[in-house]
């Protein structure tokens, strides 16, 4: 069941979406920058990224999409970014005209747009003003639900250690291209955090944060 279905039930009980689904395996491209845009998509499961390339090959990942996020909307008739799966992904497909005729769908798309805009503003601050350490710390905190934001829940209780395992779902290169750094810098910062005892690298793709508050203090937002 899609997030939109959930919302439909909550808000009006109207019928479910048409049900066209699409699957991608890891690192498969959904669409390329410049492709004709005729559908929008909702991520049901898995992780995707939007990125842009400069002619000399430099890449910037502009957005990371998770379950509930939508992608594919555009002002023009072509996509302004390339969309690629980071993991295996399941998508809900919506036709453009389907969106135009459903006020409910339109409303949900709008909410997604506003939420993406807000996140892009935050990421702009990260890219424009934060140090490498602050960028990586912010990235790690973004993977811990209910922590680090405006309404941070704080440590669970004062005695229990403030730990949490997070799955990156991205290679070092993808993280670097997301944070505006090089792969070496990302690696060095992670090693620093290891040496400080703030994290443990469980697998390349999975990090155990030993002290969530400690990482949060490094984000530049406190």
User: Site residues (CB under 8 A) for its own copies?
Assistant: 50, 52, 54-56, 58-60, 62-63, 73-75, 80-81, 110-111, 113-118, 120-125, 127-130, 177, 179-180, 220-222
From the list its own copies, DNA, none, pick the one residue 75 interacts with, judged by a Cβ distance below 5 to 8 Å according to partner type.
its own copies
Query: Which of 115, 173, 196, 197 lies at the binding interface for DNA (CB under 7 A)?
Result: 173
Output the smallest distance, CB 11 to its own copies, in A.
14
Query: Out of 91, 181, 216, 218, which residue is the one contacting DNA (CB under 7 A)?
Result: 181
Distance of CA 56 to the CA centre of its chain: 25
CB of 163 to its own copies, least distance (A): 26
- To the nearest whole angstrom, how small is the minimum distance from the Cβ of residue 33 to DNA? 22
**Residue number, 12 or 16, with CB nearest to its own copies:** 12
Q: Please name the residue that has the structure tokens 């750094």.
A: 181
C-beta closer to its own copies: residue 56 or 159: 56
Q: For residue 80, give the nearest of 22, 32, 130, 26 by alpha carbon.
A: 32
Q: How far is the CB of 75 from its own copies (least distance, A)?
A: 4
Note whether 186 binds DNA by CB under 7 A: yes
The one of DNA, its own copies, none whose footprint includes residue 20, by CB under 5 to 8 A per kind, is none
Asked if 141 is part of the footprint of DNA (rule: CB under 7 A), the reply reads no
Measured CA to CA, the distance from residue 210 to residue 222 in angstroms comes to 19
Q: How far apart are CA 136 and CA 127, in angstroms?
A: 11
CB 148, CB 141: distance < 8 Å: yes
Q: Which does 120 bind (CB under 5 to 8 A by kind): its own copies, DNA, none?
A: its own copies
Phi, psi of 25 (to 5 degrees): -95, 170
Q: Say how far apart CA 20 and CA 92 lie, in whole Å.
A: 6
- What distance in Å separates the CA atoms of residue 143 and residue 152, rounded to the nearest whole number? 13
Least CB distance to its own copies at residue 58 (A): 5
- Tell me the DSSP string of 84-141: EESS-EEEEEEEHHHHHH-HHHHHHHHHHHHHHHHHHHHHHHHHHH--HHHHHHHHHH
Residues that bind DNA (CB under 7 A): 131-133, 171-173, 180-188, 190-191, 201, 203-205
């Amino acid at each position: 069941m899609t997030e939109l279905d959930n919302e439909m039930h909550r808000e009006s009980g109207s019928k479910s979406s048409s049900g066209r689904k699409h699957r991608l395996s890891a690192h498969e491209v959904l669409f390329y920058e410049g492709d004709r845009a005729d559908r929008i998509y909702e991520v049901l499961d898995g992780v995707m990224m939007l990125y842009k390339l400069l002619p000399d090959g430099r890449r910037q990942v502009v957005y990371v999409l998770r379950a509930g996020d939508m992608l594919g909307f555009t002002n023009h008739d072509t996509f302004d970014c390339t969309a690629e799966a980071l993991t295996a992904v399941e998508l809900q497909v919506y036709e453009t005209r389907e969106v135009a005729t459903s006020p409910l769908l339109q409303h949900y798309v709008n909410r997604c747009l506003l939420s993406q805009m807000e996140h892009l503003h935050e990421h702009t601050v990260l890219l424009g003003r934060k140090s490498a350490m602050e960028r990586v710390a912010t990235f790690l905190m973004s993977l811990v639900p209910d922590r680090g934001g405006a309404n941070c829940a704080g440590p669970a209780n004062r005695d229990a250690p403030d730990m949490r395992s997070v799955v990156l779902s991205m290679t070092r290169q993808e993280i670097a291209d997301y944070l505006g750094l090089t792969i070496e810098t990302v690696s060095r910062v992670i090693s620093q955090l290891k040496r400080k005892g703030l994290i443990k690298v469980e697998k390349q793709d999975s990090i155990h944060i030993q002290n969530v508050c400690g990482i949060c203090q490094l984000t530049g937002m406190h």
